[in-house]
Structure 1
């Protein structure tokens, strides 16, 4: 039975089902990028395969350009900026298509997770506000960042035509082997298409996981408030038989506070199981993204600092927020999940446990013991994803940039001497 339920969770969503999902915008944007079936057909598979083929072609094109420009650090780093970034997004596309069943299950499970505490949210406007605010934040960040990345196309793609009119320059990778003479229009169009396609795809995958983590953090916050609001029920002492009673019934059979705590513990366990599934689903993507962004930020900063071509400086300066924002999205959202998980412990201490029954205190100790275990999302089950990780990756990127700058100065000194 459990296997059948798991298989049902991994089935593709229909178009109508995606419209009712809390991740509607993320799912349909991934569908537009050729990753998420709704439900799908051979035409959709061909469409996705075309995206992968264009990504592979760009990697080949970039490798050839690096070979022909080797020794020219400015040209090499400019090619690396686009080639590594597009290559990273192509790898993410391959991972997403391979693990699409996990993505389907993730969408269904997050919907179930949000509905777990819907009754409490319905009864308390403050809790309902937290849930609505998290959904609104996820939607606005997704839409805003996708539009920001789309705006980059108007910087990168027309710049060669404006800055170098008549020189037949390409937007991403120059064909040094034929001086951009063969199939210039086709090459220009293909680079624009693959650049726009993969940049939207790369952000779309990251924003899906960011949205899920925002929703999970909100559920942990709601759970903390529910636990902190647990109060001792009105009790009365039966003086004739000395039996502690609650609302006219024995406390052992009518302990509403204990029942509410049990519901909170059950919700906490389901959230932890969901986070484990989220960890397994996004682990390979996060590792790829972190490695890529360190290198891309390094070479883009080098171009923005040392390049003598104003158009290259403009493109790289406008591109610099992109790799850092990829990393920041994960680190910020995952850190919020960790923080809200820690709040559960303090909320348990804040409830009215002193006057509660013995079984309530025993159950509360179990909750506290479990909640005290740090809940840290990791990349590849090794590298923690939090704000400290973001600072560490930025420092690593700057260190590589400083190394490139030192190598560039030495090479210039050798040429002058």
Structure 2
């Protein structure tokens, strides 16, 4: 009679160790640190001094981008629509920098939610993890980190291309409305540094935020993969499960697990249902954090793609200008594609959960009706695939990526015909 109280702390310690191992396997600290020191999002574990440094950086970044957008707006007002080439380029810059400015404020407003999602693997899914699951998470997270570092390296290459191709007569990468004479050496150097900062922060911090969001999506997809595997194997006992209920722990303490034990199957199925509910909650939280901004990004990228296609076509004879605007175009494509690709994987993996529940039916035919009913409820809920949407208007997927590109190309064709006429 004294064994159950002893088993419970041991099981709780094992569950805590599994949660810590799972969180460590999916650590996003390399992105959180970069976002913190670029003034984009405070690190969840930042101390008082680091938090004040973040607040100062965030305020400085906000002011820098507000000034840049205002400068471009002045140029747009002065030039008007008489020069369509200059008008579309300036409007494209306002669109891109303005969208990033909105994203900075959006991330700052929703920091607690993003911080929770950053540690979702250990906090929300750690109780469902086994040693085999941790190994799977480590492999998946390692592949994701390599991919995201390549994504950031691509962004750095795009920065170099843009900065080495001057857009103004003074040799600066941007045309700016400035209240001083930029031809003076000190003023020129200060303005060049400012342009470099704007370019690097727009692309690198933007890409880091995208990589962070994409990593969250991948974490949820991996949890769905583990859930599908566990549903199929819910009648095959490979190891003692971690505690969900005191009753379940006491049962595990006094009797050995058997593959055809009804109680074992029931609690494993209950564990899978709770796991599925936790995944659903976190997908909904991520949707609340990203839904509106994904719509804004999709519209912004669609507009930028249209304008940059026009700039590439207009500067086809100039290799330097064509390369510069092509790099801008590829940056927009990459930013949209990374969301659509991983969000599509999330949809596909959530659909696999229903299939896994269906595949588990033959092994549970001899189980009581209550277990079959629970499996049916899980299957019914899994038939509604989890997805990320642009404010509920359309789901982010590979098909939506193609649709946005097609719409952008259609507007580009109209714009080109208007210019020729």
Same topology, TM > 0.5:
yes
Equivalent residue number for residue 403 of structure 1:
414
User: For the residues of structure 2 that align with 1:212 and 1:78, how far apart are their CA atoms?
Assistant: 34
Give 1:177 deviation, angstroms: 9.6
The answer as to 2:399 corresponding to 1:394 is no
Match of 1:52 among 62, 75, 80: 62
Tell whether 2:139 aligns with 1:133. yes
What is the deviation of 1:175? 4.4
Conserved? CA contact 1:287–1:379, under 8 Å:
yes
Answering whether residue 229 of structure 2 is matched by residue 221 of structure 1, we say no
Distance 1:200 1:309, change over 3 A: same
**1:221-277 residue CA offsets vs partner (Å, 9 max, x unmatched):** 1110111123378xxxxxxxxxxxxx9999998531222111111111111111111
CA shift in 2, pair 1:250/1:224, >3 Å: closer
Equivalent residue for 1:156? 162
Of residues 194, 205, 213 in structure 2, which corresponds to 1:190? 194
| 1:353 aligned residue | 364
d(CA) in 1 for partners of 2:326 and 2:137? Answer: 37
Aligned counterparts of 1:223 and 1:174: Cα–Cα separation in 2: 53
Q: CA deviation at 1:36?
A: 2.5
- After TM superposition, the structure 1 stretch with the greater mean CA deviation from structure 2, 396-405 or 29-38, is 29-38
Aligned to 1:319: 328
From 100, 115, 135, give the equivalent of 1:104. Answer: 115
Cα distance in structure 2, aligned partners of 1:140 and 1:252: 42
- How far residue 83 of structure 1 moved from its aligned partner, in angstroms, is 2.9
Could you tell me which residue of structure 1 aligns to residue 375 of structure 2?
A: 364
Q: Which one of 146, 152, 156 corresponds to residue 146 of structure 1?
A: 152
How far residue 357 of structure 1 moved from its aligned partner, in angstroms, is 2.4
Residues 1:264 and 2:266 are matched in the alignment: no
Match of 2:28 in 1: 23
Answer yes or no: is 1:343 the counterpart of 2:352: yes
Number of the residue aligned with 2:337: 328
- Conserved? CA contact 1:22–1:111, under 8 Å: no
Structure 2 residues not aligned, in runs of 5+? 1-22, 238-254
Counterpart CA distance in 2 for 1:44 and 1:231 is 50
- 1:279 matched to 2:283: no
* Aligned residues of 1:210 and 1:330 also touching (Cα < 8 A): yes
Offset of 1:213 from its aligned partner?
0.5
Q: 1:8-57, CA deviations, whole angstroms, 9 ceiling, x for partnerless residues?
A: xxxxxxxxxx9997111221111121122224443321211010111111
Q: What TM-score, normalized to structure 2?
A: 0.81
Q: Which of 201, 206, 213 is the matching residue for 1:209?
A: 213
Question: Aligned residues, how many?
Answer: 371
Moved more, 73-82 or 136-145: 73-82
Match of 2:37 in 1: 32
Match of 1:62 in 2: 72
Shift of 1:101: 1.6
Q: Distance in 2 between matches of 1:151 and 1:179?
A: 31
Which TM-score applies when normalising by structure 1? 0.82
Alpha-carbon distance change, 157 to 256 in structure 1, aligned in 2, over 3 angstroms: same
Q: Does 1:168 align with 2:170?
A: yes
Q: Distance in 1 between matches of 2:344 and 2:165?
A: 38
Q: Is the 8 A contact 2:156 2:200 kept in 1?
A: yes
> 1:347, 1:117 → 2: CA distance?
17
**CA displacement 1:123-154 (0-9 Å, x = unmatched):** x4xx4553223211321122111121112222
Distance 1:81 1:311, change over 3 A: farther
CA contact (8 A) 2:25 2:138 kept: no
Which range is displaced more, 288-297 or 61-70?
A: 61-70
Match of 1:374 in 2: 385
CA distance in 1, matches of 2:38, 2:259: 58
Deviation track 1:272-326 (CA, whole Å, cap 9, x = no partner) reads 1111111111223212211110011111111111125443212011222111111
